[in-house]
Amino acid sequence: MGWMAAAILARGLKAEGVELTLIDIPDMPADDLAESSLPAIRQLHQMLGFDERQLMSITGASFKLGTEYRWGPATSFVHPMGKPATIVPALEQEVSRLHLIGDDCAYENYFLSAVAARQGKFAFPDPDEKSIRSTLSCGLHLDVKNYKEYLKDYARFLKVAVRKGALQAINICSSSGFIKALVLDDNSRVEADLYVDCSGESALLIGSAELAVPYASWQVDLPLDRMVNFSVLRPSCKTNTICPLTKVRAAPWGWQREIPLQRKVVHQFIYHSGLLDDEGLAKEVHRMAGASDVRYTEIKPGCREVLWSRNCVAVGAAAGNITSLAVSELHWAQSALVRLLDYFPNKSCEPFNAAEYNRLTMQEFERLRDFHIAHQVTMHSDSAFARLCSEAPIPAPLQHRIDLFLHRGRIAAYEYEVMSDQLWAAFFLGAGLWPKRYDIMTEALPERELLQNHQRIRAAISKAANAMPNHHELLASYCPTR
Amino acid sequence: MSAQRIQQVVIVGGGTAGWMTAAALARFLPPALCRIVLVESEQIGTVGVGEATIPHIRHFNQLLGIDENEFIRATYATYKLGIQFTGWGAPDSSYIHPFGLFGHDIRGIDFHHYWLHLRSLGDETPLDNFSIAAVAATAGKFAYPEKNPDSLRSDFGYAFHLDASLYAKFLRNYSAERGVRRIEGKINQVKLCSLTGFIESLTLENGEKIDGQLFIDCSGFRGLLIEGALKTGYEDWRQWLPCDRAVAMPSERTTDPVPYTRSIAQRVGWQWRIPLQHRTGNGQVYSSEYLNDEDALYLLRSQLNGEETGEPNFLRFVTGRRKKSWNKNCVAIGLASGFLEPLESTSIYLIQVAILKLLENFPDADFAEIDRAEFNRHIDLEYRRVRDFLILHYKANGRVGDPFWDACRAMSIPAELERKINLFRESAQVEHYQQGLFMTPSWLAVYIGQGIVPQGYDSRVMRHPKDTMADYLKKISEAIEADVHGMADHKTAIDNAIKGISGIYPEASMNLYGLPK
Ligand SMILES: Cc1cc2nc3c(=O)[nH]c(=O)nc-3n(C[C@H](O)[C@H](O)[C@H](O)COP(=O)(O)OP(=O)(O)OC[C@H]3O[C@@H](n4cnc5c(N)ncnc54)[C@H](O)[C@@H]3O)c2cc1C
């Protein structure tokens, strides 16, 4: 995460003559093997001036049009990115009405991204609003190791200084309580005006005795404490479909996730160690022929009570952790870093400014946490993990959101929400939360006519999906792995 | 569908709120499923003031499929690009709160940070000069906003000044054409179900009984159903918004109408000037603790430009809001649901939002609690956010020496507002939120316009040399000025709209500052 922070801050502050130093601390916990990102990453790359094609080549990347969820014996849905490929205003209302009269078309079929992704197709979002492809939106699947190297080169190019060494002491200014300097294990000092803590779960600054910002645990809300990563190479003859989808499966002990890269697939188990011991895990991993690069990490869901304290801003897992199941650490860290640029302080770290940063970041984080909890609520019903989950009450905003949706298919809007209403609806409907009723306004059209309209819409989407290129072919010509 | 649909909606009241509600329900509820009845009493009458609006009204009209120029003809409307506040900061100061942006962000940093920086270096160009809506307003010009985001004219919206009783009449015809049944008569009895406390029926003076499932209370200040019958309770906000009276009086128009509302601070309270095609609406808003009715009328009369064309209309109000706008099977809309003084012309907007939220959460006959909860959650947020923005005008006044204003500066304010002001004072940041009406440009207009000078601003702008920045900003303001020069006079623009030769009016949005980008 440090390199990401260095890259964003270096770019954002390039013209301001702010000097950046990155302290490269040895023996940090291992990174994930792969990243499954939201569309925001592409805007960020654009802001950083990255050549996407080159970046994707180097990181063996593939595109992501959505997430495929599986649970139970035969249930699956795609939660797409982008928006419905129709301009029907109250789409979820009409579809709910059709569902109630027995039409069993899945909601994802209204999203070009979902329909195309299932077939292993991909196309770039079209900026022309009139094109059906303008409803597409995509993120990236990246190899983290290479991505980090790429960020490192970029940060160095922008003259970020690098110091290697472990942290030995933190010098605090006795009057202000600000960090005055960091002392490394070779007794050298690093002095700065602002310190960004990207040290992950160890939270070396924000969690230190000197700053002593407490960590509020969300372990009850998100009962997950471990993660394992490993990768499986794609047999070279079998690259003929790569679905532009992250795959998530509900398991009795938590979640299993697959991130497709060009040459390999990265698997991740996110679980509760009380439900899956090392032996059980070894068995699971073993079932996946050719698993290599196996690595474990501890995760502690929760959040610092203050994310920016005095002259120290914690970013990424140092600030909090909601597991990377649906929205990754990289995403929430990027979002926080871009916000930090907006609220970039002067030397005094003005308190109201920092408070506003904290308020916004915290609210966004809580909304993201609720989205993760929504996964548990909708896709885990009858497992040991589900029983663990049910020990915590559902946060009130999420409960209200679920209740209102089940009641009448409306999404209750909350401040600082990250996901659009349309995508919340797609999530709920995909997960099988069909509303019990629909708007009276939806009854304006007779059933038969409504159904015909919808059949036309679906046919158009399906036709548009067929016309899209194959994802693996596009990757092979656009950005083949280097 | 398992639940029963509502078959009859009864709207009580035929003021702006009643007829806007009737028209929208008639437009969107399938007539085969749901009948709409509206009861009003000529004997009681309507409030009869309320002539300034914000751009959202165009969205409402467009949803209803109303032709804008026909509407302008029917309501003697003029265009409105913002509000001019005179004497709210220092007694001789004036600023415009425009329906539009100030400048553009530059390299991701909000424009006002550059402006503040330049100002700290001695440049005195007012912030208003960077808003095309503000510049056009003061120049008495008007043009439609354009869709092309690169155009200077893309960053603003517009609203109207209108004769509200004619608007109600217009919507009454609209509603009648779509099957709304109007009943004239005075309600003197509301019957509640002894079991649930829900409203069962209304009885008129002549004995006629009106049944329904959903009752919409648009009966004005008295809140005949929501308070009279259901005793819902009222939250009093006078500790922050101290005015409790107004006197209104129309006058002859003596000059061409300006494309903005005026709000002129007085010794106590303030006065409005609302230019219509055929007259000017005037009024004095005041606090009875500091000014009696007679003096208020004198204060108003002594500043009128044209001949009086009507009797003074005295109004009393309690600023605040109904504890629940939707209680049991009764939804209060308009003055029945609360009152915020017309300082930012928000009443019709709040009516509109309530209607849209009611449609979104339109209940079935079993009246699920969650529909009410969701509706009330939104309405509550809207009211509070508007309230805080209004309080800012009073709190940040610069009229030292007037007891009324001194007390306003000294009053304690809601914590959220305090936080917002502190943030701006410290770092020139405008607190960011997504829901609610007033966003960054509005807060900025008032903060700066009323003299809250931030101690700091985005440090990233400080590195720019003064001359380059001054040149750059000068170019923007000159471009705006040149562009405004080419616009039609407001009067001509109105005449063209009346004649139907104004070209195609632009698409509206639920946004104060034009189409969102
Ligand atoms: C001083 C002042 C200035 C304002 N300026 C603005 C402005 O610039 N912009 C803006 O948007 N808003 C403004 N408003 C607000 C605006 O006037 C109201 O929002 C608007 O008129 C809506 O009023 P209403 O329909 O809720 O109530 P009213 O106009 O009071 O209508 C009430 C209706 O209920 C009926 N009724 C009541 N009791 C009974 C009964 N027992 N039986 C039958 N019928 C009954 C009446 O006949 C009437 O039809 C202003 C308000 C005030 C007080």
Q: Which of A13, A352, A417 sits opposite B422 (nearest CB)?
A: A352
pLDDT for position A28: 86
- A416 contact residues in B (CB cutoff 8 A): 433-434
Q: How far is the CA of A317 from the centre of ligand 1 (A)?
A: 54
Q: How far is the CA of B269 from the centre of ligand 1 (A)?
A: 21
Q: How many residues does chain A have?
A: 482
pLDDT for position B517: 62
Q: Is the CB of B217 under 6 A from ligand 1?
A: no
- Nearest chain A residue to B29 by CA distance is A441
Atom of ligand 1 nearest to the CA of B315: 53
Name the 3-class secondary structure at B315.
strand
Helices B490-499 & B68-75 angle (0-180, nearest 10): 110
Separation CA B184–CA A28 (nearest Å): 78
Q: Is the CB of B83 under 6 A from ligand 1?
A: no
Q: What is the SS3 string spanning chain A?
A: CHHHHHHHHHHHCHHHCCCCEEEECCCCCCCCCEEECCCHHHHHHHHHCCCHHHHHHHCCCEEECEEEEEECCCEEEEEECCCCCCCCCCHHHHHHHHHHCCCCCCHHHHCHHHHHHHCCECCCCCCCCCCHHHHCCCEEEEEHHHHHHHHHHHHHHCCCEEEECCEEEEEECCCCCCEEEEEECCCCEEECCCEEECCHHHCCCCCCCCCCCCEEECCCCCCCCEEEEEEEECCHHHCCCCCCEEEEEEECCEEEEEEECCCEEEEEEEECCCCCCHHHHHHHHHHCCCEEEEEEEECCCEEECCCEECCEEECHHHCEECCCCCCCHHHHHHHHHHHHHHCCCCCCCCHHHHHHHHHHHHHHHHHHHHHHHHHHHHHCCCCHHHHHHCCCCCCHHHHHHHHHHHHHCCCCCCCCCCCCHHHHHHHHHHCCCCCCCCCHHHHHCCHHHHHHHHHHHHHHHHHHHHCCCEHHHHHHHHCCCC
How many interface pairs between A and B have CB atoms less than 8 angstroms apart? 93
- Nearest chain A residue to B2 by CA distance is A437
CB under 8 Å to A209, separation ≥6 — which residues? none
pLDDT for position A237: 58
Residue of B219, B317, B331 best suited for mutating to test ligand 1, as the one with most atoms within 8 Å of CB: B219
**How many CA atoms, within 13 angstroms, populate the side-chain half-sphere of residue B88?**
31
Structure tokens at A37: 């990102």
Separation CA A253–CA A255 (nearest Å): 7
Q: Identify the band that residue B2 occupies on the pLDDT scale cut at 50, 70 and 90.
A: very low
Atom of ligand 1 nearest to the CA of B187: 42
Q: Is the CB of B212 under 6 A from ligand 1?
A: no
Tell me which long-range contacts A387-396 makes (C-beta under 8 A, separation of at least 24).
A388/A223, A388/A272, A388/A274, A388/A275, A389/A223, A391/A220, A391/A223, A392/A220, A392/A221, A392/A223, A395/A221, A395/A366, A395/A369, A395/A370
pLDDT for position A171: 97
Q: Is the CB of B223 under 6 A from ligand 1?
A: no
B264 and B87 Cβ atoms separated by less than 8 Å: yes
Q: Which of A350, A403, A415 sits opposite B434 (nearest CB)?
A: A415
**Options B80, B141, B324, B420, the catalytic residue:** B80
Nearest-CA distance B422 → chain A (Å) = 7
Residue of B40, B163, B204, B341 best suited for mutating to test ligand 1, as the one with most atoms within 8 Å of CB: B40
Separation CA A305–CA A394 (nearest Å): 20
Beta strands in B7-59 (DSSP E): 8-12, 35-40
pLDDT for position A16: 82
Q: What are the residue ranges of CATH 3.50.50.60 in chain A?
A: 2-220+301-472
**Percentage of chain B modeled with pLDDT above 70:** 99
Separation CA B233–CA B244 (nearest Å): 18
CB under 8 Å to B136, separation ≥6 — which residues? B81, B142, B143, B259, B484, B487
pLDDT digits (tens, 9 = 90+) for B145-184: 999 988 999 989 999 999 999 999 999 999 999 999 999 9
Burial of B24 (0-12, 13-18, 19+ CB in 10 A): buried
Structure tokens at B262: 């005026």
Let me know if B80 is a catalytic residue: yes
Separation CA B5–CA B39 (nearest Å): 22
pLDDT digits (tens, 9 = 90+) for B175-233: 999 999 999 999 999 999 999 999 999 999 999 999 999 999 999 999 999 999 999 99
Structure tokens at B227: 């308070």
- A353 contact residues in B (CB cutoff 8 A): 423, 426-427, 429
Closest residue by Cα to residue A413 from B382, B430, B384, B364: B382
Residue A226 CB neighbour total at 10 angstroms: 19
Query: What are the phi and psi torsion angles at A89 (to 5°)?
Result: -70, -45
pLDDT digits (tens, 9 = 90+) for B117-128: 999 999 999 999
Closest residue by Cα to residue A374 from A321, A429, A328, A331: A429
Residue entry with tokens 């101690």: B455
pTM for this predicted structure:
0.96
Mean pLDDT of B260-266: 98
Q: What's the N-to-C CA distance of chain B in angstroms?
A: 39
Residue A391 CB neighbour total at 10 angstroms: 9
- Residue ranges per domain, chain B? 101-156+392-499
Q: How far is the CA of B48 from the centre of ligand 1 (A)?
A: 6
Q: Which of B374, B434, B456 sits opposite A412 (nearest CB)?
A: B374
CB under 8 Å to B185, separation ≥6 — which residues? B39, B41, B204, B205, B206, B208
- A12 contact residues in B (CB cutoff 8 A): 108
Structure tokens at B249: 């009086």
pLDDT digits (tens, 9 = 90+) for B336-362: 999 999 999 999 999 999 999 999 999
Closest residue by Cα to residue B330 from B228, B197, B217: B217
Nearest-CA distance A101 → chain B (Å) = 9
CB under 8 Å to B375, separation ≥6 — which residues? B325, B326, B331, B357, B358, B361
Closest residue by Cα to residue A67 from A46, A82, A84, A47: A82
- A101 contact residues in B (CB cutoff 8 A): none
Task: Report, as ranges of residue numbers, the positions in chain A whose pLDDT lies below 70.
Answer: 236-239
CB under 8 Å to B265, separation ≥6 — which residues? B85, B86, B87, B88, B91, B397, B399, B405
Q: Which of B5, B370, B463 sits opposite A407 (nearest CB)?
A: B370
- A400 contact residues in B (CB cutoff 8 A): 370, 373-374
Q: How far is the CA of A98 from the centre of ligand 1 (A)?
A: 42
Q: How many residues does chain B have?
A: 517
Domain A2-220+301-472 has CATH 3.30.420.40: no
Mean pLDDT estimate for chain A = 95
Q: Is the CB of B283 under 6 A from ligand 1?
A: yes
For the cut 70, the answer to whether the pLDDT of residue B3 exceeds it is no
